[in-house]
Chain A
Amino acid sequence: MEQLTTIGLNHYLTISAILLGFGLFAVMTRKNAIVVLMGVELILNAANINFLAFSKYNGGMEGVMFALFVIVIAAAEAAIALAIVINIFKIFKSVDVSSIDSMKE
């Protein structure tokens, strides 16, 4: 009962795990490059949730700091990613990740 009423560490962890799963799923299955990148964001945010949760339950600020940095990094990554994807679209006239496989084996 108490498990259900009070939100505990495990809930956060479960959420983040699910989030991670979604992120990976998106990365693996979606064709659109943008969606793939969103999947990546999901993964990072799953990590964030972990950090914050642990930081809350372990005490100490490192988790929070880490989360902050991850967010920043995610932003930067998104910027670069978008630049690259736009370039890809210019050249291949598509953002279908799975169709871009000229180099293989």
Chain B
Amino acid sequence: MFELPSGAEIQGIIASVQGSVGLFIPEIYLSALFMLLIVVDLVAKGRKNNLLAITTLLGLAGSTIFIYQQHGLPAGEIFFGMYVLDEFALFFKYFFVLSAIVAVVVTMADEQFDREVKSMGEYYALIVAMVIGMIMMASSADLIMIFLSMELVSFTGYILAGYFKRNPRSSEAALKYLVYGAVSSGLMVYGFSLIYGITAQTNIIKISLELAAHGSDSLVMILATLLVLAGFGYKIGAVPFHFWSPDVYEGSPTPVTAYLSVASKAAGFALLMRFFYVAIPHGALPPEDTLGIDWLSLLMILSVASMIYGNVVALWQKNVKRLLAYSSIAHAGYLLLGILVMDQFGTQATLFYLLSYFIMNFGAFYVVILISNKTGSENLDDYRGLGKKMPLAGAALTVFLISLVGLPPTVGFIGKLMIFSALLTKGTLYMWIALIGIMTSVISLYYYMLIPLNMYLRESKSPDEKGMNLALAPQIILAVLMMLTLYFGLFFTPLSDFAKYSSVMFGITLQ
């Protein structure tokens, strides 16, 4: 039943593949970097030096050049609709590469690696692999690509989470991540299969056309929707698909935690947005969808649940990493708010929020690492009196936390401002959900402030007043991150213009 294609067709296929490859350079470059790193690792066997790290940094930095070259290229599909190239994807390419760079920097600062593992081995290679996977997540326009890229990210994630082989918590994290991730992706793929069954298409644009044209049996559709959502939700770590994240975040090496909580979450959002906007045909106004499925209320439930659950449970945490994990759940909720609005402003707000989250969350984790380097603990009680011993770290952490709460003059405040503005442009429609967002952010103030409270308001149990002064490099990095948090809190035009520029998605025009 399948007849072989004719020569002319083959020529055309080859031609388009060649054309597509031209638009695929950053990914190819990164894959090459991945290989290179493995080789370098083999060469520099066992020796503990920053060779790998430096190579990774340079390599990643180099990749930005290729990404930059993709500006101005016409948005379009490549590889027969498997993959798209648009500003939206570009944004995330930058985002992931940058986050990988920061992750590497953070890793270099973390002394736990020296204690836990003999050699950095394939660690950096995995980081890069994850970057590739995430970039593809952000750009894939076909169920198959989506699945593959997600799995790529997940697998690297599993390994990174369990990178401290001898550390029970790390291994436990890996196992939980693995099981939970496998199940969710399995469910998602099952959902895909149903969608494929309904529409006979795997390209999301075609799917939406198909659905718009013929509609579907809504019962099957909701089933498929829920299953797919389970997969996406697991990536963005939103309630009720969040269960893995606290344990994994707590157990994994801190740089990995930071990386997961920022980058992989962002990747999940990229995917969700593309799928939600493109694959689902929407009616004129957000609430009414052509399919009988009320995606909006689904996402609303997710977002409200995430905001409330994340913030409320975070109140009880005694371990800073775990606390930040719960807070990241809450932030997933805030990000979902931006998606709900489902217009160009909402997208812009979401992207902006991702950027702000990138800065402040990495900053926070960085300080956590520096502190645990000195104190060897991530418990709140061990933070007592640190404000005096490590003034810069303390100040920086305070700034990051304030930004996470969303108080001016920090970038976090602007993020919240834009999200809520996006909600309120729809008049009173989303007022109540905005109110919940506000309420929960008040709650969040409390547990975030617990950290400065311990650092400044309480005396350390071991009253040795010798200051723990940091090395120069970490100080500079901290200072830079802190400055950025404050600077973009006051002059956020560049970021938000970038977000605006990137809020264009192939296959759909948001009003």
The answer, yes or no, to whether A81 is at the interface (CB within 8 Å) is yes
- Which of A48, A53, A60, A87 has the most B CB atoms < 10 Å from its CB? A87
Q: Are B201 and A62 in contact (CB under 8 A)?
A: yes
Interface residues of A in 67-105 (CB under 8 A from B): 69-70, 73, 76-77, 80-81, 83-85, 87-88, 90-92, 97, 100, 102-105
Q: Which of A10-55 contact B (CB under 8 A)?
A: 13, 16, 20, 23-24, 27, 33, 36-37, 40, 43-44, 46-48, 50-51, 53-55
Say which residue of B148, B159, B168, B171 sits within 8 Å of A80 (CB atoms): B159
A28 CB to nearest B CB, Å: 9
Q: A54-B200, A81-B182 are in contact. Are A69 and B190 (CB under 8 A)?
A: no
Are the C-beta atoms of B165 and A87 separated by less than 8 Å? Answer: yes
Contacts of B1 in A (CB 8 A): 59
Q: Is A58 positioned at the interface, with any CB of B under 8 Å from its CB?
A: yes
Give the number of chain A interface residues (Cβ < 8 Å): 49
Contact A73 B151, CB 8 Å, known A43-B186, A88-B171: yes
A-facing residues in B212-251 (Cβ within 8 Å): 246-247, 250-251
Nearest Cβ on chain A to B130's Cβ, whole angstroms: 13
Given contacts A40-B179, A73-B148, A87-B165, contact A23 B171 (CB under 8 A): no
Q: Are B169 and A102 in contact (CB under 8 A)?
A: yes
With both beta carbons as reference points, the residue of chain B lying nearest to A92 in the complex is identified as B168
At the interface, yes or no: B369 with Cβ under 8 Å from chain A? no
| A70 contacts B147, C-beta separation under 8 Å | yes
Complex contact A37–B182 (CB within 8 A): yes
Which residue in B173, B176, B187, B200 is a CB contact (below 8 Å) of A43?
B187
Q: A66-B192, A103-B169 known; A84 and B197 CB under 8 Å? A: no
Would you give the shortest CB distance from A11 to chain B, in whole angstroms?
A: 14
Interface residues of A (CB under 8 A from B): 13, 16, 20, 23-24, 27, 33, 36-37, 40, 43-44, 46-48, 50-51, 53-55, 58-63, 65-66, 69-70, 73, 76-77, 80-81, 83-85, 87-88, 90-92, 97, 100, 102-105
Contact A84 B174, CB 8 Å, known A40-B182, A58-B200, A91-B166:
yes
* B210, chain A: closest CB distance, angstroms: 11
Which residues, 124 to 176 on B, are CB-close (under 8 Å) to A? 143-144, 147-148, 151, 155, 158-159, 162, 165-166, 168-169, 171-176
Residues of the B chain whose Cβ atoms lie less than 8 Å from the Cβ of A51: 193, 196
Specify which chain A residues have a CB less than 8 angstroms from the CB of B201 in the assembled complex: 62
Q: CB-CB contacts of B309-348 with A at 8 A, as 1s and 0s?
A: 0000000100000100000000000000000000000000
Q: Which residue of the partner chain, among B171, B187, B193, B251, contacts A50 with CB atoms under 8 Å?
A: B193
Q: How far is the CA of A81 from the CA of B404 in the complex (A)?
A: 35
Query: Which B residues lie within 8 Å of A90 (CB)?
Result: 165
User: Is B178's CB within 8 Å of the partner chain A?
Assistant: yes
Alpha-carbon separation in the docked complex, A12 to B168 (Å): 43
Known A-B contacts A51-B193, A76-B155, A80-B155; the reply to A85 vs B175 at CB < 8 A is: yes
Closest Cβ of chain A to B77, distance in Å, is 15
A84 near B193 with CB under 8 A, answer no
Set of chain B residues within 8 Å of A59, measured between Cβ atoms: 1, 200
- When C-beta atoms are compared, the residue in chain A nearest to B249 turns out to be A103
Residues of B within 8 A of A23 (CB): 186
B202 within 8 A of A: yes
Q: With A43-B186, A66-B192, A66-B202 in contact, do A77 and B173 touch (Cβ < 8 Å)?
A: no
With a cutoff of 8 Å between Cβ atoms, the chain A residues found around residue B316 in the complex are: 105
Chain A residues with CB under 8 Å of B166's CB are 91
Interface size on B, residues (CB 8 A): 43
Is B108 interfacial (CB 8 A cutoff)? Answer: no
- CB neighbours of A102 from chain B (8 A): 168-169, 172
- Segment 51-69 of B: residues with Cβ below 8 Å from A: none
Residue of A nearest to B155 (CB): A80
- Complex Cα distance, B435 from A100, in Å, reads 39
Residues on B with beta carbons closer than 8 Å to the beta carbon of A13: 197
Distance in angstroms from B245 CB to nearest chain A CB is: 11
Query: Chain B residues with Cβ under 8 A from A24's Cβ?
Result: 183
B279 contacts A by Cβ under 8 Å: no
User: Distance in Å from the Cβ of A29 to the closest Cβ of chain B?
Assistant: 13
Q: Does B189 contact A (CB under 8 A)?
A: yes
User: Are A54 and B168 within 8 A (Cβ)?
Assistant: no
Q: Measured between alpha carbons, how far is A58 from B143 in the docked complex, in Å?
A: 16
Expressed in whole angstroms, the Cα–Cα distance for A105 and B322 within the complex equals: 9
Q: Is B194 an interface residue (CB 8 A)?
A: yes
A70 touches B189 (CB 8 A): yes
User: In the assembled complex, which residues on chain A have CB atoms less than 8 Å from the CB atom of B151?
Assistant: 73, 76-77
Known contacts A60-B200, A65-B144, A104-B247; A44 and B174 CB within 8 A of each other: no
10 smallest A-B Cβ distances: which pairs?
A50-B193, A43-B186, A58-B200, A54-B197, A40-B182, A47-B189, A103-B247, A47-B190, A62-B202, A47-B193
Partner of B196, one of A43, A63, A97: A63
Tell me if A77 and B183 are in contact (CB < 8 A). no
For the complex formed, measure the closest distance between the CB of B254 and the CB atoms of chain A, giving whole angstroms: 14
Contact call A54/B193, Cβ cutoff below 8 A:
yes
Minimum distance in angstroms from B66 CB to a CB of chain A: 26
